[in-house]
Structures are given as C-alpha cells and as structure tokens.
Amino acid sequence: MEAAYQKLVRLESQLHPEGVQRAPLWQFVLWLGFFGTVLLWGVYAMFLCWFKGLNQTNMNDYYGFALWIWADLAVIAVGGGAFFTGLLRYVIGKDPLKYIINYAVLIGFICYSSALLILAIDIGQPLRGWFIFWHANVHSMLTEVAFCLSCYFGVLCIEYIPLVLENRKLDEIPFFHHTAHNFHEVMAIFAATGAFLSFFHQGSLGGVAGVLFGRPFAYRPEFYIWPTTFFLFTWSAAACGPCFTILVTKITEAITRKKLVKDNVVELLAKIAGWMLLTYSIAKIADTLYWGFVMLPKHGLQITDFYTNASLIYTKLGGVPWILLIEILCSVIPALILVSKKGRQSKPALVVAVLLGSMCAMINRWVMVLQVMAAPIMTFDQFALYFPSWQELATTVLPVAYGVILISLSHRYLPVFPQERELNPV
C-alpha cells in the first residue's frame, strides 16, 4: 500500500513544473476533496434549478434579477484584470507584467466561465439560450453582453490553452510545444481583440442597467448612444480587475507560503490600478451628483426618494445612503493608497487597498442590480423583501469552489508563476 502510494507520488511529481516544490499529494487531495464537496453541492443545486425550474430560487416578479446576476456582474468586473493586464502587457508594452499575466488570464478564465455558467442557470428556458444569438435584437444591451462575453471567453481559452500545453509532460509532445510557442508569438493580436471585446461587454453590462428609462434609480443620461454607466463599468473593471488579480496573488502566496511574484511587478500593476481607481472615483462621484441633482429632478424625483423613502431600509439607518457611501469610499481609499509609493510598498496597506478595490466593483454591481430592483417606482408601490434560497447560495458558491480547484490544479501542474523558481530555490 505504502509502496503503491510512493509510486503514485513519484508519477504525479513528474507532472509538476521543473525546479519547484509542491505540497504533499495527500494534502493536495484533501484540499481538492473539501472544495470538490462544495462544488458538488453547487452542482446539485444547479441541476435542481435546471430540472425543476427557477421556483427553486427565492426570486420573484419584483426581483427578476437577483443574487446570480449580481454574482455574474461581480465576477466579470473583477475578472477584468485579465483584459486590462493583457492590454498593458501586449499592446501598451508594460513588460514586467509578463510575470503576472498568466495568473491574470487564469483568474479571468475562471471568472468568465463562471459567469457563463451562472447565466445558463439563470435563464428560465436554458435550452433556448441560443435564441439570444440567433434572434438577436441588436438594440438590447444584453445581446451585446452575450455576444462579447462569449467571444471574449473564446479569447481567454486561447490565452489559457498555451499555459496548459506548457505542462512539463504535455510540452514534451512536439505539436503541443509548437502550438504553445506559436500562440505566444501572436498573443498581442488576441490580447487586442480581448480588450476590444471587453470594452464592449463590460460597458454593455453597465448599459444593461443604465438604459432602463423606466427605472430612474439606474437610468443615466446618454452619452452619445451609451449611458454613462457603460463607461463607468468598463473603467471600474479596468481599475478593480487588477486589484482582484493582486488580491488573489497575495492569497495564493499566503496559502502556498511562497513568494510567487516579485514586488516590482505587483507594485507596477498596483500603481496603474490606483490611478485608474482615482480617476474612476472622480467620474463616479460626478456621475452620482449629476444623476441626483440634475437627472432625477427632470423626472420629478429627488435623490432622497431613494435614500429616505419610508419603504426602504435606509430609514432604519437614519436616512444615510450607506451603500453609496461605502461604494465611493471603496474607490477613494484604495486609490489614495495605491497612487502613493509608500502605500504600495507597505504590504498590509497594499492588501487592504486591493481588497477594498475588489469590493468597490462588487458593491457597485450590487447597487446596479439589487437596489435597482428594490426601489419602487410607482408612488403607491411597496418595497418587497428578497432573501436568496439555499439553491441560489449554493450555485453562487459553486464558482468560488470551481475557481479554487482550477487555481490549485493550475498552480500544481502548470508554470503559472514564471518567477516562482527564482524566488523559491529548492
């Protein structure tokens, strides 16, 4: 038994990248087992939703968009690190980012595959999902989302495949070796295409809420043909995505107890994210002020309608628009930390900043989904309460478990971090 296990360990270790140390196999299997169980729980809930329908959720006619759509928008926003890092690395030429681009791509791949899965669970008639392509209404923001999201997922697959082919054993096969090498040679074209597609799908996700002229809480005046949320979403994804990439890198380093990326690389990405966040927060504040004091009065509303309305939960908090305040603070504070050299170089400050930066996008997406649904529009309509069912929670946790598993497998078998060997000599 012992001998068989040792043999298995030996065989398995041949799949590891050269010159790096990995956790013992039993530990890895236990780790996978735990997250695999969570994954199975999510998969069970997913099949319940597919076979029994969306009555398995606590969504209702007042909350047609709920937890899943938030999760969908949130993972796409924080997955924006992939396109933005790719743009910086391949198109703008920020060379040091080549040491973190693999991980950014992997995180993006996980986020986008999760987003597509969530969408497949979320629609009432999953077998008709292809109608969005076939019978496309080109004027709908959701159509733009579906097309660009699917295409960009294709780009992410193209970016991720070479990394898989660089597995030590796969790389020994000449065709795979050539394919990985050749993909890298033309990667700038794919990265540019990815940035193009991301600009439109991140933006159109913002547009999904921004064009709802029947929902003054979400509606933003049009800037040419797009609502301002179109640009704010793209901008925030480019700002918060890299924060999430750094955050996950730091978490991975903490779990593996290894330094995986050099500080100068992280600091460069953090600095760019900081400036993006700072400009984003200015734009966001300007947009909020314009909405609250120019747009809403045009529709006969006041900003206080959404924050002191007796039917909303804010009353209990003294009429303070706390979610809005947290959202703005989550962009301003990390921005100020990350644009200062001292802030970036202090590890605790950096971690706090990237955590807040990631939360910034997540809270913004929460507001643009759940609060939009929650705010009653007709003056006599009532505020309805929604709390997700376990099936919704399980299917929302599913991508997290899936992400942990894919990161674990990729880290163990693929050369995700090019600087790992240098930073951790065996």
Alpha-carbon span 102 to 6, nearest angstrom: 31
Look up residue 319 and give its two tokens: 């009429």
Report the site for other proteins in 71-110 (rule: CB under 8 A). Answer: 89, 97-99, 101-102
Alpha-carbon span 212 to 24, nearest angstrom: 53
Which residues have CB under 8 Å from 312's CB, separation 6+?
A: 306, 374, 375, 383
Q: Which of 53, 285, 313, 341 binds other proteins (CB under 8 A)?
A: 53
Helix/strand/coil for 226:
strand
Q: Which of 154, 259, 349, 393 binds other proteins (CB under 8 A)?
A: 154
- Least Å distance between CB 377 and other proteins? 4
Stretch that binds other proteins, among 3-11, 47-55, 237-245, 349-357 (CB under 8 A): 47-55
Is 164 a binding residue for other proteins by CB under 8 A? The answer is no
Is 62 a binding residue for other proteins by CB under 8 A? The answer is yes
Report the site for other proteins in 368-387 (rule: CB under 8 A). Answer: 372-373, 377-382, 384
415 in Cβ contact with 17 (< 8 Å): yes
Is 169 a binding residue for other proteins by CB under 8 A? The answer is no
Stretch that binds other proteins, among 127-135, 244-252, 322-330, 389-397 (CB under 8 A): 127-135
Stretch that binds other proteins, among 76-84, 213-221, 344-352, 389-397 (CB under 8 A): 213-221
Alpha-carbon span 140 to 122, nearest angstrom: 18
Phi, psi (rounded to 5 degrees) for 212 = -75, 85
Query: Nearer Cβ to other proteins, position 3 or 379?
Result: 379
**For 14-140, where are the alpha helices, taking DSSP H only?**
25-52, 67-78, 81-86, 101-122, 131-134
Beta-carbon neighbour count of residue 205 at 10 Å?
A: 30
Report the site for other proteins in 217-256 (rule: CB under 8 A). Answer: none
Which residues have CB under 8 Å from 361's CB, separation 6+?
A: 74, 77, 78, 80, 236, 237, 239, 240, 241, 244
- Least Å distance between CB 217 and other proteins? 10
Site size toward other proteins (CB under 8 A) is 99
Is 137 a binding residue for other proteins by CB under 8 A? The answer is yes
Query: Nearer Cβ to other proteins, position 181 or 347?
Result: 181
- Least Å distance between CB 349 and other proteins? 27
Is 259 a binding residue for other proteins by CB under 8 A? The answer is no
